[in-house]
Amino acid sequence: MGFIVNLVLLGAIGASAWLLVFGDKDQIGVAGVLLGALLGFVGGMIRERSQREHEDEHRFEKERRELYARFLGAVHDAEMAIDDC
């Protein structure tokens, strides 16, 4: 899907550039709106990706803390079993 999105974005940017260079006043306005929409779309994609990465990091840290707590509990249980012998 990323490849298709990149192709669409590249085509839209190319169309906007063509309109900015060769277009009349009305087409320049259309090109500006198109570029603004593209900027908003790309910004939203970047924000979503960074948010997903942040959530992944948070989930990883939470799992790491839980594993460490279980490890410490297992070590404590093993020490208690040794002390009981």
Q: How many CB atoms lie within 10 A of CB 16?
A: 22
d(CA 80, CA 17): 73
d(CA 38, CA 10): 10
For residue 1, what pLDDT is reported? 52
d(CA 49, CA 28): 31
Confidence of residue 2 (pLDDT cuts 50, 70, 90): confident
CA terminus-to-terminus distance, the chain: 62
Structural domain count of the chain: 1
For residue 84, what pLDDT is reported? 78
- Which range marks the domain in which residue 62 is found? 2-84
Residue 66 or 16, more confident: 66
For residue 45, what pLDDT is reported? 84
Distances (CA, A) of 11 to 14, 16, 47, 57: 5, 9, 22, 34
The pLDDT tens digits for 42-66 are 888 889 989 999 999 999 999 999 9
For residue 36, what pLDDT is reported? 82
